[in-house]
């Protein structure tokens, strides 16, 4: 299998990560997941912008220009021959020994790795929706940085899994933020509500796209904090992320069930999102 290792495409078996890579000892790195459809990346520019933005927020230098990165990920896509799948791209602060909390000198080269995995769109799941739980947002206070120190995220995802759910809806003192690996929105009194960007959520690129679609379709969107009460009283609830696109929530914990998913607004956004994909990547068969 071909993968990215620094500025090269190599066979996966050649990649060797040092035990004193700061990504391994401190979770000191950032990442992006970028979806390809029909052999073309969707929203590549936006993802690379966020990659540089995350790096900048932790004062890490990306040792490649955006043009170089774009060339590299497109080469990986070509060489793997994957049509529809996910690129995982990660940059850590590199190898620094002996272990020390302090950022290393500028001479230490950040470590880039990237893999492509073939993953079809799960159209059936987008129809059926996903069950969720509600739990405390235990994460740190810089959730706008897409970083690899993800133990908080995976713990709440595991919590969801233990309750036969696929996502954990997170709240801080009763205010809903987002999910463990997706943004969240509700439809209430005909309005779409979603938590504003800032330090408590990831600025989702899929969210950016569906907000644009919603506005074009004439649905009012308000990026405002909303409560657990609002969540439970919502007419529709959906998550969004690069990998799950616009995904209806079918259940919240044991109590709340929606008669029918996707709801009307969610369905309209799913369709509009699909059109956005097809404009960039060509007609989809799945």
Catalytic positions, please?
A: 146
User: Nearer to a second copy by C-beta: 50 or 267?
Assistant: 50
Among 10, 17, 217, 224, binds a second copy (CB under 8 A): 17
- Closest to 170 (Cα-Cα) out of 244, 93, 226: 226
Torsion of CA 15, 54, 61, 153, to 10 degrees: -40
Q: Length of the chain in residues, anyone?
A: 286
User: Nearer to a second copy by C-beta: 36 or 234?
Assistant: 36
- Cα gap 261→247, rounded to integer Å: 10
Q: Applying CB under 8 A, does 34 fall inside the site for a second copy?
A: no
Supply the minimum distance, in Å, between the C-beta of residue 178 and a second copy: 14
Q: Applying CB under 8 A, does 50 fall inside the site for a second copy?
A: no
**Order of strands, edge to edge, in the sheet holding 85-92?**
8-11, 2-5, 111-118, 85-92, 29-37, 40-41
Q: Applying CB under 8 A, does 113 fall inside the site for a second copy?
A: yes
Question: Which DSSP helix (H) or strand (E) runs through 142?
Answer: none
Supply the minimum distance, in Å, between the C-beta of residue 188 and a second copy: 28
At 149, phi and psi to the nearest 5? Answer: -80, 75
Supply the minimum distance, in Å, between the C-beta of residue 271 and a second copy: 28
Centre a 10 Å sphere on the Cβ of residue 103 and count the other Cβ atoms it contains.
15
Among 8, 10, 27, 284, binds a second copy (CB under 8 A): 27
First CA to last CA distance, the chain: 25
Question: Which DSSP helix (H) or strand (E) runs through 196?
Answer: none
User: Nearer to a second copy by C-beta: 102 or 106?
Assistant: 102
How distant is the alpha carbon of residue 246 from its chain centre? 12
Q: Applying CB under 8 A, does 58 fall inside the site for a second copy?
A: yes
**Residue window 82-101: x/- pattern of binding to a second copy, with contact defined by CB under 8 A:** ------x-x-x-----xx-x
Residues 128-187 interacting with a second copy (rule: CB under 8 A): 136, 138-142, 145, 147-155, 157-158, 161, 180-181
Question: Which DSSP helix (H) or strand (E) runs through 130?
Answer: strand 130-136
- Cα gap 244→246, rounded to integer Å: 6
User: Nearer to a second copy by C-beta: 183 or 269?
Assistant: 183
Q: Applying CB under 8 A, does 21 fall inside the site for a second copy?
A: yes
- Token pair listed for 23: 């990504």
User: Nearer to a second copy by C-beta: 88 or 232?
Assistant: 88
Supply the minimum distance, in Å, between the C-beta of residue 122 and a second copy: 14
Residues that bind a second copy (CB under 8 A): 3, 12, 15-21, 23-28, 31, 58-59, 88, 90, 92, 98-99, 101-103, 113, 115, 117, 136, 138-142, 145, 147-155, 157-158, 161, 180-181
């Amino acid at each position: 299998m071909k993968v990215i290792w620094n500025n090269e495409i190599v066979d996966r078996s050649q990649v060797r990560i040092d035990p004193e890579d700061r990504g391994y000892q401190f979770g000191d790195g950032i990442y992006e997941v970028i979806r390809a459809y029909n052999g073309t990346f969707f929203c590549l520019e936006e993802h690379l912008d966020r990659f540089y933005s995350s790096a900048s927020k932790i004062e890490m230098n990306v040792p490649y220009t955006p043009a170089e990165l774009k060339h590299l990920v497109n080469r990986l896509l070509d060489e793997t021959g994957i049509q529809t799948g996910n690129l995982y791209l990660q940059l850590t602060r590199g190898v620094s020994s002996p272990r020390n909390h302090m950022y290393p000198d500028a001479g230490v080269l950040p470590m880039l790795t990237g893999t492509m995995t073939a993953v079809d769109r799960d159209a059936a799941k987008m129809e059926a929706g996903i069950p969720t739980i509600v739990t405390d947002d235990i994460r740190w206070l810089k959730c706008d940085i897409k970083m690899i120190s993800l133990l908080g995220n995976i713990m709440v995802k595991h919590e969801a899994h233990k309750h036969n759910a696929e996502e954990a809806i997170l709240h801080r003192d009763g205010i809903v933020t987002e999910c463990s690996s997706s943004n969240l929105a509700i439809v209430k009194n005909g309005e779409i509500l979603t938590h504003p960007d800032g330090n408590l959520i990831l600025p989702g690129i899929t969210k950016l796209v569906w907000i644009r679609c919603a506005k074009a379709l004439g649905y009012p969107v308000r990026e405002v904090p909303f409560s657990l009460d609002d969540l439970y009283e919502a007419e529709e609830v959906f998550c969004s992320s690069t990998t799950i696109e616009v995904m209806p929530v079918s259940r919240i914990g044991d109590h709340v069930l929606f008669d029918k998913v996707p709801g009307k607004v969610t369905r309209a956004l799913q369709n509009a999102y699909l059109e956005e994909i097809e404009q960039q990547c060509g007609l989809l068969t799945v």
